[in-house]
Amino acid sequence: MTISERIQNLRKARGISQEGLADKIGVSRQAVSKWESKQSSPDLDKIVLLSDFFEVTTDYLLKGTENEKKQTKNINAHIFTAIATGLNFIGLILAWLFWYEKQQVMVAIAIGFIFIALGLMIFAVGMNFSSKESKITAKRNFWLINIWLISYIPLFLTYNILYTHTLAPYKMSPRSYIVDMPFWIVYILVCSSVMFFQIKPNSTK
């Protein structure tokens, strides 16, 4: 693997565009494009800046070798994203089952929130022990999926209290979907807004 390929791989793993990387280290987008297309190589001072930004050694950029100092955080953040997502999904399913089968609303809600809290805790802790190269895309992927899971119970709980004066982890209103449309619009807008802001700053070229 050449220095051009290493720079490109690190940039994509960080989820940043060529223009974004250029802004971070004070060069033009064309300069980054030339580095990645092997038309030129970065000067030594830019190698140092790239090393600091990507949190890798200059030896890695130049030769593809790592040292112990830069290997302290080499766990892939996507592992924690997957575990946290699984916990959030399980919490949602268990909340539904306990309410539907047992009609134990407080237990159902408590289980849902406990699993969501565990998922968020594992995600937060995992980000502190993961390699920075994988953190950006892992965070983005986490919120693209989990905003729909995390917000589901709180929003439906609020909806049921306001409209039916009951506690339940999913919609209990006898109203039609047309009457309930404002709630669905709020739910979709909230989740879609989070997805939009996760995607927009990380678009790559």
48-93 pLDDT per residue, tens: 999 888 888 888 888 877 644 444 456 888 999 999 999 999 999 9
* Alpha helical stretches, state H, 98-180: 105-128, 132-163
Q: Quick count: other Cβ atoms within 10 Å of Cβ 105?
A: 17
Same domain, 94 and 161: yes
Residue 173 structural domain: 77-202
Same domain, 67 and 84: no
Q: Quick count: other Cβ atoms within 10 Å of Cβ 79?
A: 15
Same domain, 93 and 143: yes
Same domain, 157 and 98: yes
Q: Any idea how long the chain is?
A: 205
Q: Quick count: other Cβ atoms within 10 Å of Cβ 174?
A: 8
Residue 56, judged by CB atoms within 10 A of its CB (0-12, 13-18, 19+), counts as buried
pLDDT by position in tens, the chain (length 205): 889 999 999 999 888 899 999 999 999 999 999 999 999 999 999 999 998 888 888 888 888 776 444 444 568 889 999 999 999 999 999 988 888 887 788 888 899 999 999 999 999 998 888 877 788 889 889 999 999 999 988 888 887 777 767 777 666 555 556 667 777 888 899 889 888 887 765 544 4
